[in-house]
Copies of this chain bind each other. A is one copy, B any other.
């Protein structure tokens, strides 16, 4: 239990610290999770496998496991949601990353709408959901393979788009590098990019933005 919890960041941003469970044993994650929970704040663990979820929920039965997002959350605050984050993904295989983003943004206190399997090879799918997406304060777009969706979305909305390349694909997708490069070269100027599969980071920044739009 020698890991230090960084209270500085929490103070600066108003967002809770988060446990990155990859590379930690279930016991380690459960121990840190419990320690954080005891302080009364909201708690999030990302990249948690089944064994980790079991260990955490045994320790903190009130925690919730989101298997498709590989995340565990504990909601202890009671504030109403502030701001609207739309989360999109291109294909069903991008779902784990999209859900990591959605669950994170929700725990961080925003209203989230999900728009999944709306890849560019069938434009009618995204055009059909255009109206709701346009009401969001910020849009997160997850896509693997050619990573084209953020450019299309960037052209449809007037708010910041955070692009998340996913490692979905094979061959020349090079584990997400093709999607990453595509997004960095987006011709839509409202697109910024995070690391491959980093749904958490996208949601973190999206929350900061969405809150600005809705200060109490």
- Asked if A73 lies at the interface with its beta carbon under 8 angstroms from chain B, I say no
CB closest residue in chain B, given A165? B171
Number of A interface residues, CB 8 Å? 83
- Asked if A169 lies at the interface with its beta carbon under 8 angstroms from chain B, I say yes
Contact of A122 among B8, B159, B200 (CB under 8 A): B8
- What residues of chain B lie closer than 8 Å to A173, measured between beta carbons? 181, 185, 195
Known A93-B23, A137-B212, A212-B137; contact A155-B123, beta-carbon cutoff 8 A: yes
Known A121-B155, A176-B171, A195-B171; contact A187-B91, beta-carbon cutoff 8 A: yes
- Asked if A156 lies at the interface with its beta carbon under 8 angstroms from chain B, I say yes
Contact digits for A185-204, partner B, Cβ 8 Å, 1 yes 0 no: 11111111111111011101
Closest chain-B Cβ to A188's Cβ sits at a distance in Å of: 4
A8 to B124 alpha-carbon distance, docked (Å): 9
A200 to B152 alpha-carbon distance, docked (Å): 19
Task: Say whether A121 contacts B195, CB under 8 Å.
Answer: no
Closest chain-B Cβ to A208's Cβ sits at a distance in Å of: 5
Q: 8 Å CB contacts to B: which residues of A73-122?
A: 90-93, 117, 119-122
26 residue pairs from A and B, CB less than 8 Å apart = A8-B155, A13-B158, A13-B190, A119-B151, A120-B120, A120-B148, A120-B152, A120-B187, A121-B152, A145-B186, A146-B146, A146-B147, A146-B181, A146-B187, A160-B208, A170-B195, A171-B176, A171-B185, A171-B197, A172-B177, A172-B185, A189-B201, A189-B205, A190-B205, A193-B194, A212-B213
